[in-house]
């Protein structure tokens, strides 16, 4: 009479509407072909809704894979006719991998366009960007360009979305092109970039100062160990204009540009040496990550600073801005064993970080709170200051590391 | 419905007791099983997510660019028979295992619990599908990367159906138990009520005067006692009625004899023509018979006084031996007539506190009885014995004796072994009452054909200076 409760678990239903749609889609696409999502994280659902033909009703767009066919990527559009779903169009995708997928009105006609990035699954090869427009009958390709990165923003601030393509082929080509649609895509401007760049590991677009929109390219350069810097490009009179020079944004580790203080303006991160460590070797220094905003001219203003583990195993809360140049790390610290954060003016310890082996942790860890577990180590902390109290006021479940949350990268 | 009465009372009591007990047990059982089911699901999910998280933290290649982190996480954390959603800390669904994007952000209580560090749990109804689900959420942090909430939902439909079935089964078992208990209690109630009804009916007949009616049936315990007591009562009523009737007939006879002789003599005298001697004899007889009538009436009066506790004793010191000697003298002539020899055996002369006249009446009655039931040429012994606290007087004869059957009843008022012998049947009853009023006892031992011993025990006076 009594059975195992776990065996009675069942995936929850989705709404009847969605269920019938899913069944219909499954019946229309080749059997066994899985629906796919784009590789990037921007659009994560498998069945997507967008009003492509501006008729007030949303169409359904799916992409699916048929690995054993000549054309491996397909898309399909479904329309709702008086409560009945009908398949409108099936089209072939380019390449093998759906890299990105955006639904934005880029042609400025009020209807949503599909902006899809494809690749052949090889990092070295250029990816291809296709802008599809759909007016109810035919799917038209409004644009086909090779790209490394693309962003959709309104750089020239004219209220119309524009599309900026970054193409990079190391030592051969590095170019940024901004398009805007007026009956067809026209180039607003084109900017040649540094060809020696290995890759752009992060590309963001948005506000870079209170009254200016721009693009930040976080670039990796150099051979072997390499170095990193950020390029900030804004549009002045429809001309792509770099601001800041590479030295200002130079860093020895990858730091992602992001909006750390949630004011809607992007910051660029650089490394700073904690006070007292000036004469240590690079590998010994427990670097601080400092984030700066463009001041609108040629300089940068300090925004926030935090300690970020050089292997990205953990990071601490942002220090309060007024601690800048005051908080430091005791020079007896070792960034793989023990770190002590002190205020250089009062010599007050504000936090400690300690690395435990799993055995030592299990034996005794009195007074230490768990920060994070990594493969062979348990990293724990103690804090003595309200600003680094991390999650102290909450009941910390042992596996949850009380770490500052970052903002959503793409906002 | 059962009509009011003990049966309903018993059945109702059983019903209430058993129903309450069953209700408690069922509620506890169902709560426990529900908790067990829900907790099992919860712990299954939370164990899975902890394991997956541990695995993911250790074996994930975190140096790699995380373009597809969310799908990667989704693949790592997904759990069979659940829907996994990955939320940001504001409750927005970033990705989920269904094909559809979640349009609304999640606001259920499991999310804040997860943010606080617990493994959050929420049971409720999915608004879009009206399905009962359990949501289990956990905050995860990937070695210094962004913080996400893993939210699993699983349908409780099958679980609730199962719980419903279990409830139904247990309720029907409970109902069956209740029915069986009710049937048993009905039987029990009948086993009490039926005899009671029977007894009631019989006693109603008795109340109407049908003392021949008897409670039939072999009842157990209290009911059996009640039945036999009632039967005994009826028997006693019949018997005492019989005694009363006997008394009336014997007393009428007893009263008639002297009255006849009084009437005869008074008529004879009234007609005149007799010489004075004859008249004198007649008057003497009238006087004697009148005395006898007075004696009879006094005896009856005494008895009724005793019955109503109106007898006043005039207490004083009584020398028992002197009293017995007096009685011997009084009874001498009567004994002489039957050639019976009266013997007093006594070494002491104890003093008791009592009413001399009444004690005399007791012993006169005893000796009179002894003479009455003794054969000619026999001997009646009166034995006086002293003990530390009391004194014993035995009146012993070798007469008819009393059968065992009558022995218990000779002291009852109006009882006579042979009602034709004359007398009222009150003598022994009065003697017994008088002795008891003196804090004494009267015991009769007898064997049919061998004689009777009546033993009177009286308490000894405190100032026990016996006169030798």
Please determine, for residue B144, whether its predicted confidence score (pLDDT) is greater than 70.
Answer: no
| B103 shares contact with chain A (CB less than 8 Å) | no
Contact B115 A15 (CB under 8 A): no
Chain B interface mutation, best of A1, A2, A12, A33, highest count of B Cβ atoms under 10 Å: A12
**CA gap B241, A97 in Å, rounded:** 122
| pLDDT value of residue B463 | 60
CA B183 to chain centre: 25
Residues in chain B with CB shorter than 8 Å from the CB of A45 are 95-96, 99-101
Contact A118, A95 (CB under 8 A): yes
Three-point CA angle B448, B453, B459, nearest 5°: 155
Residue A305's SS3 state is strand
- CA of A6 to nearest chain B CA: how many angstroms apart? 6
**CA gap B34, B159 in Å, rounded:** 9
Contact A350, A314 (CB under 8 A): no
β-pairing, A73-81 with A59-65?
Answer: antiparallel
Residue with the two structure tokens 């190391």: A170
Q: Which fold has domain B221-307?
A: Helix Hairpins (1.10.287)
Mean pLDDT of B319-346: 88
- Tell me the CATH architecture of domain B316-459: 2-Layer Sandwich (3.30)
- What does the DSSP assignment read for A82-137? TTEEEEEEEEEPSSSEEEEEEEE--SSSSS-EEEEEEE-S-TTSPEEEEEEEE-SS
For A406, which residue in chain B has the nearest alpha carbon?
B146
| pLDDT value of residue A292 | 93
Could you tell me the pLDDT band of residue B151, with boundaries at 50, 70 and 90?
A: very high
Sign of dihedral through CA atoms A29, A34, A36, A39?
negative
Q: Which tokens sit at B297?
A: 């009436």
The answer to whether ipTM exceeds 0.90 is no
Could you tell me the pLDDT band of residue B143, with boundaries at 50, 70 and 90?
A: low
| pLDDT greater at residue A366 or residue B153 | B153
Contact B139 A400 (CB under 8 A): yes
Residue A130 main-chain phi, psi, to 5 deg: -125, 135
Q: Which tokens sit at B276?
A: 């004075």
- CA of B135 to nearest chain A CA: how many angstroms apart? 10
- What does the DSSP assignment read for B28-41? HHHHHHHHHHHHHH
List beta partners, residue A98.
Answer: A118
Contacts of residue A108, defined as CB under 8 A and 6 or more positions apart, other chains included, come to: A160, A161, A181
| B119 shares contact with chain A (CB less than 8 Å) | yes
**CA gap A26, A60 in Å, rounded:** 13
- Weakest-pLDDT range from A9-13, B195-199, B410-414: B410-414
| pLDDT value of residue B67 | 58
Contact B158 A10 (CB under 8 A): yes
Contact A35 B99 (CB under 8 A): yes
Contact B99 A46 (CB under 8 A): yes
| pLDDT value of residue A205 | 92
Residue B454 main-chain phi, psi, to 5 deg: -105, 125
Q: Which tokens sit at B158?
A: 């099958």
How far CA A314 is from CA of A358, A394, B35, B146, B149, in Å, comes to 17, 19, 38, 10, 18
| B216 shares contact with chain A (CB less than 8 Å) | no
- What does the DSSP assignment read for B362-418? HHHHHHHHHHHTSPTT-EEEEEEEE-SSEEEEEEE--S----HHHHTTTTSTT--SS
Contact A45 B100 (CB under 8 A): yes
**CA gap A127, A38 in Å, rounded:** 13
Q: Which tokens sit at B235?
A: 């028997």
Contact B401, B450 (CB under 8 A): yes
pTM check: above 0.95? no
Residue A221's SS3 state is strand
CA B179 to chain centre: 30
Chain B interface mutation, best of A44, A76, A121, highest count of B Cβ atoms under 10 Å: A44
pLDDT for B108-136, tens place per residue? 899 888 887 788 999 999 888 888 999 99
- What does the DSSP assignment read for B354-371? E-HHHHHHHHHHHHHHHH
Instruction: Name which of A151, A9, A271, A327 is nearest B83 in CA terms.
Output: A9
Q: Which tokens sit at B389?
A: 């606290």
How far CA A58 is from CA of A76, A131, B190, B389, in Å, comes to 14, 18, 78, 123
Contact B62, B145 (CB under 8 A): yes
Residues in chain A with CB shorter than 8 Å from the CB of B40 are 4-6
Which sequence spans correspond to the domains of chain B?
A: 6-162, 221-307, 316-459
Contact B155 A391 (CB under 8 A): no
- CA of B89 to nearest chain A CA: how many angstroms apart? 9
Contact A333, A286 (CB under 8 A): yes
| pLDDT value of residue B466 | 45
| B30 shares contact with chain A (CB less than 8 Å) | no
**CA gap B432, B443 in Å, rounded:** 9
pLDDT for B219-256, tens place per residue? 888 888 988 898 888 888 888 888 788 778 877 877 88
Please determine, for residue B60, whether its predicted confidence score (pLDDT) is greater than 80.
Answer: no
Chain B interface mutation, best of A3, A7, A8, highest count of B Cβ atoms under 10 Å: A8
**CA gap A233, A208 in Å, rounded:** 9
H/E element, B445: strand B441-447
Count of pairs with CB atoms under 8 A, one residue in A, one in B: 155
Q: Which tokens sit at B215?
A: 């409670």
β-pairing, A84-92 with B351-354?
Answer: unpaired
Contact A323, A344 (CB under 8 A): no
Helix, strand, coil percentages in chain A from 3-state DSSP, rounded to 5:
10, 45, 45
Contacts of residue B144, defined as CB under 8 A and 6 or more positions apart, other chains included, come to: A308, A309, A312, A313, A314, A315, A372, A403
**CA gap A233, A236 in Å, rounded:** 10
Q: Could you tell me which CATH number the domain at B6-162 has?
A: 3.30.450.20
Eight-class DSSP state of A264: S
| B95 shares contact with chain A (CB less than 8 Å) | yes
Contact A394 B116 (CB under 8 A): yes
Closest CB from A5, A39, A62 relative to B40: A5
| pLDDT value of residue A407 | 36
Tell me which residues of chain B, numbers 51 to 80, contact chain A at a CB-CB cutoff of 8 Å: 53-54, 57-59, 62-63, 65, 67-71
Q: Specify the length of chain B in residues.
A: 468
H/E element, A241: strand A239-243
Eight-class DSSP state of A5: G
Eight-class DSSP state of B462: S
**CA gap B342, B362 in Å, rounded:** 17
Eight-class DSSP state of B100: B
Closest CB from A10, A14, A47 relative to B157: A10
Q: What is the pLDDT along chain A (411 residues), one digit of tens a residue?
A: 677 888 888 888 888 888 888 889 989 888 888 888 888 766 678 888 888 888 888 889 999 998 888 888 999 999 888 888 888 889 988 888 888 899 988 888 888 999 999 988 777 678 899 999 988 788 889 899 999 899 999 988 888 889 999 998 888 889 999 999 988 889 999 999 988 888 888 899 999 999 899 999 999 888 777 889 999 999 988 899 999 888 889 988 888 898 888 889 999 999 999 988 989 988 889 999 999 999 988 889 999 998 888 877 777 778 888 888 889 998 888 888 899 999 988 888 888 889 988 888 888 888 888 777 776 788 888 888 877 765 433 333 333 333 433 333 333
Closest CB from B37, B67, B166 relative to A39: B67
Chain B interface mutation, best of A399, A402, A403, A404, highest count of B Cβ atoms under 10 Å: A399
How far the first Cα of chain A sits from its last, in Å, is 53
Eight-class DSSP state of B431: H
| pLDDT greater at residue B417 or residue A298 | A298
List beta partners, residue A327.
Answer: A343
């Amino acid at each position: 009479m009594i059975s195992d409760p776990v065996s009675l678990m069942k995936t929850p239903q989705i709404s009847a509407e969605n269920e019938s749609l899913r069944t219909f889609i499954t019946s229309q696409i080749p059997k066994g072909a899985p629906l796919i999502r784009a590789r990037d994280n921007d659009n994560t659902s498998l069945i997507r809704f967008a009003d492509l033909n501006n008729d007030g009703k949303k169409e359904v767009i799916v992409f699916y894979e048929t690995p054993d066919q000549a054309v491996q990527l397909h898309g399909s559009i479904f329309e709702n006719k008086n409560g009945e779903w009908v398949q409108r169009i099936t089209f072939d995708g380019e390449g093998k991998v759906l890299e990105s997928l955006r639904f934005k009105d880029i042609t400025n006609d009020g209807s949503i366009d599909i902006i899809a990035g494809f690749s052949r699954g090889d990092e070295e090869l250029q990816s291809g960007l296709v802008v599809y427009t759909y007016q109810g009958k035919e799917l038209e390709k409004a644009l086909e360009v090779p790209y490394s990165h693309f962003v959709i923003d309104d750089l020239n601030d004219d209220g119309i979305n524009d599309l900026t393509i970054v193409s990079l082929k190391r030592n051969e080509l590095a170019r940024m092109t901004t398009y805007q649609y007026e009956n067809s895509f026209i180039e607003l401007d084109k900017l040649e970039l540094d060809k020696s760049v290995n890759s752009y590991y992060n590309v963001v677009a948005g506000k870079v100062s209170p009254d200016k929109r721009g693009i930040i390219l976080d670039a990796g350069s150099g051979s072997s160990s390499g170095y990193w810097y950020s390029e900030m490009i804004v549009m002045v009179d429809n001309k792509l204009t770099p601001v800041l020079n590479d030295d200002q944004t130079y860093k020895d580790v990858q730091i992602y540009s992001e909006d750390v203080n949630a004011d809607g303006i992007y910051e660029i991160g650089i490394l700073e040496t904690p006070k007292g460590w000036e004469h240590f070797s690079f590998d010994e220094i427990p670097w601080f990550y400092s984030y700066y905003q463009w001041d609108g001219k040629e300089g940068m203003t300090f925004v926030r600073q935090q300690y970020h583990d050089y292997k990205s195993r953990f990071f601490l809360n942002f220090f309060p801005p007024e601690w800048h140049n005051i908080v430091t790390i005791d020079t007896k610290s070792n960034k793989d064993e023990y770190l002590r954060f002190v205020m250089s003016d009062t010599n007050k310890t504000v936090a400690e970080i300690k690395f435990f082996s799993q055995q030592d942790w299990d034996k005794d860890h009195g007074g230490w709170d768990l920060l994070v577990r990594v493969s062979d180590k348990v990293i724990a902390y103690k804090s003595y200051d309200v600003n680094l109290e991390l999650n102290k006021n909450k009941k910390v479940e042992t596996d949850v590391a009380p770490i500052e949350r970052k903002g959503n990268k793409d906002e | 419905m059962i009509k009011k009465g003990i049966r309903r009372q018993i059945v109702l009591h059983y019903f209430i007791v058993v129903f309450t007990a069953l209700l408690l047990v069922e509620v506890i059982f169902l709560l426990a099983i529900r908790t067990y089911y829900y907790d099992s699901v919860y712990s299954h999910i939370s164990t899975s997510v902890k394991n997956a998280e541990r695995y993911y933290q250790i074996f994930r290649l975190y140096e790699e660019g995380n373009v597809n982190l969310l799908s990667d996480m989704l693949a790592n954390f997904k759990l069979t028979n659940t829907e996994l959603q990955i939320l940001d800390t504001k409750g927005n669904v970033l990705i989920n295992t269904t094909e559809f994007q979640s349009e609304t952000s999640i606001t259920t209580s499991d999310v804040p619990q997860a943010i606080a560090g617990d493994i959050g749990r929420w049971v409720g109804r999915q608004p879009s599908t009206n399905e009962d689900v359990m949501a289990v959420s956990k905050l995860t942090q990937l070695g210094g990367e962004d913080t996400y909430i893993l939210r699993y939902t699983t349908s409780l439909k099958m679980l609730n159906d199962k719980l419903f079935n279990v409830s139904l089964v247990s309720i029907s078992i409970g109902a069956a138990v209740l029915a069986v208990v009710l049937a048993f209690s009905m039987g029990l109630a009948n086993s009490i009520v039926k005899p009671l009804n029977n007894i009631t009916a019989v006693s109603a007949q008795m109340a109407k005067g049908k003392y021949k009616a008897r409670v039939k049936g072999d009842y157990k315990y209290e009911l059996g006692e009640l039945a036999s007591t009632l039967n005994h009562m009826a028997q006693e009523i019949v018997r005492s009625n019989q005694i009363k009737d006997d008394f009336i007939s014997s007393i009428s006879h007893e009263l008639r004899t002297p009255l006849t002789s009084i009437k005869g003599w008074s008529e004879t005298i009234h007609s005149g023509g007799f010489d004075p001697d004859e008249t004198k004899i007649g008057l003497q007889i009238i006087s004697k018979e009148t005395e006898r009538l007075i004696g009879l009436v006094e005896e009856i009066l005494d008895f009724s006084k005793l019955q109503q506790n109106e007898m006043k004793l005039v207490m004083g010191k009584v020398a028992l031996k002197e009293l017995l000697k007096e009685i011997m003298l009084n009874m001498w002539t009567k004994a002489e007539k039957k050639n019976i020899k009266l013997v007093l055996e006594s070494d002491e002369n104890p003093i008791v506190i009592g009413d001399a006249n009444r004690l005399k009446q007791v012993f006169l009655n005893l000796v009179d009885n002894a003479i009455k039931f003794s054969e000619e040429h026999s001997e009646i012994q009166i034995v006086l014995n002293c003990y530390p606290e009391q004194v014993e007087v035995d009146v012993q004869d070798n007469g008819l004796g009393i059968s065992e059957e009558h022995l218990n009843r000779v002291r009852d008022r109006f009882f006579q072994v042979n009602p034709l012998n004359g007398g009222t049947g009150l003598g022994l009853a009065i003697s017994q009452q008088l002795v008891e009023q003196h804090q004494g006892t009267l015991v009769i031992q007898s064997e049919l054909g061998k004689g009777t011993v009546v033993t009177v025990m009286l308490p000894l006076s405190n100032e026990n200076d016996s006169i030798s």
